[in-house]
């Protein structure tokens, strides 16, 4: 019995030694791979270039071939324009939060054509129509998914009307999904929460839109959007800084067809105003509009107060008050 126990102990010690040696070898291999991937062993440069035609990893500084015959993980086909790329690609669109099933379900196309592009025969069209109808029904299985699908389509509609980029839409969809997960929708309208999520996403992505602009494209009032936004930002712990007037400058200048020189000068005026704390406690759109008005006069591309007010969505009185204040505090001489 004692001999058997000794044999068992010896076997366990051998296994422990094997494990240690394996881990030591794997760590050494990892270190070597990291070293070859990041640094040239000859000159220590980090400027490494992947030459996919020759399957080589080359140092840009000294020309040393660090690695060769590595695997090309790209597609095996070539495409010279967008149409060829779409035709030869065998994968679908990437996952997105703007669709209720994240874009992972199957879609039966509305065109009556097969995978080769040939027209479907009239005998099979009725069957395809029935398949398409049932596919639409099964994609939304319960009330929660149906409400989510409606909310995300509403988000997409509002974002399209405001001309917002893709990243804002994705962020708004994530915020809305978080609100659904925390059961914040109960007792509130879907349109109101969707509009509030879009407003929060605009602020988060530094593509600001005012509550009035969101209210124009939504089906709820400005007051309702503001109240819902405050509620979901508090419950979800969204840490959003106050909107900067500088974020509005590119959009307003584009609406007034002003050159880049006017835009950069307006940004500089707003930076100086921010350093002297002239922007705190004032509406960012009014301050941005006043800075653009001053900049347009100084750059010789004069725009009237009414034109600037229409684009910025503020009154002429606001622009007049703000521009006088900025000109006085920053010692800007304006010749009207």
Question: Could you tell me which residues are annotated as the binding site for Zn(2+)?
Answer: 40, 43, 59, 62
CA 314 to chain centre: 29
Give the annotated binding-site residues: 40, 43, 59, 62
**Per-residue DSSP letters for 134-196?**
HHHHHHS-SHHHHHHHHHHHHHHHHHHHHT--HHHHHHHHHHHHHHHHTT--TTS-HHHHHHH
- Contact between 156 and 191 under an 8 Å Cβ cutoff? The reply is no
Closest CA to 172 of 153, 144, 146: 153
Tell me the HSE value of 265 on the side-chain side, using a 13 A CA sphere.
17
- The full length of the chain comes to 336
Give residues with Cβ within 8 angstroms of 276, minimum separation 6.
329, 330
Residue 37 backbone phi and psi in degrees, to 5: -75, -40
- Contact between 235 and 182 under an 8 Å Cβ cutoff? The reply is yes
Compute, in degrees rounded to 10, the torsion defined by CA atoms 318, 322, 324, 326. -170
| Alpha carbons 123 and 274: distance in angstroms, whole number | 71
Q: Sheet containing 48-51: which strands, arranged edge to edge?
A: 48-51, 56-59, 65-68
Give residues with Cβ within 8 angstroms of 68, minimum separation 6.
54, 55, 56, 57
CA 313 to chain centre: 26
2, two tokens:
């004692």
| Alpha carbons 178 and 43: distance in angstroms, whole number | 50
């Amino acid at each position: 019995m004692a001999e058997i126990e000794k044999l068992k102990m010896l076997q366990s010690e051998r296994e422990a030694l094997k494990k240690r040696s394996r881990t030591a070898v794997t760590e050494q291999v990892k270190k070597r791979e990291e070293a070859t991937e990041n640094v040239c062993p000859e000159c220590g440069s980090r400027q490494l270039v992947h030459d996919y035609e020759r399957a080589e990893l080359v140092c840009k500084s000294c020309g040393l071939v660090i690695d060769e015959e590595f695997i090309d993980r790209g597609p095996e086909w070539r495409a010279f324009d967008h149409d060829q790329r779409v035709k030869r690609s065998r994968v679908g669109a990437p996952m997105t939060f703007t669709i209720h099933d994240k874009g992972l379900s199957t879609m039966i196309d509305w065109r009556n054509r097969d995978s080769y592009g040939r027209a479907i025969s009239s005998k099979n069209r009725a069957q395809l129509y029935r398949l398409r109808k049932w596919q639409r029904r099964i994609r939304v299985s319960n009330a929660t998914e149906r409400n989510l699908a409606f909310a995300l389509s509403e988000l997409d509609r509002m974002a399209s009307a405001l001309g917002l980029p893709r990243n804002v839409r994705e962020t708004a969809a994530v915020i809305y999904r978080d609100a659904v997960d925390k059961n914040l929708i109960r007792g509130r309208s879907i349109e109101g929460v969707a509009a509030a999520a879009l407003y929060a996403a605009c602020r988060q992505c530094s593509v600001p839109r005012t509550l009035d602009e969101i209210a124009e494209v939504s089906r709820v009032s400005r007051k309702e959007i503001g109240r819902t936004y405050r509620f979901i930002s508090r419950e979800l712990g969204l840490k959003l800084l106050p909107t900067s007037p500088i974020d509005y400058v590119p959009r307003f200048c584009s609406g007034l067809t002003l050159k880049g020189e006017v835009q950069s000068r307006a940004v500089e005026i707003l930076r100086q105003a921010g350093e002297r704390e002239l922007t705190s406690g004032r509406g960012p759109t009014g301050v941005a509009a006043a800075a653009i008005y001053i900049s347009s006069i100084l750059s010789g591309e004069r725009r009237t107060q009414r034109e600037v007010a229409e684009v910025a969505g503020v009154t002429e009185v606001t622009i007049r008050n703000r521009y006088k204040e900025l000109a006085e505090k920053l010692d800007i001489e304006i010749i009207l």
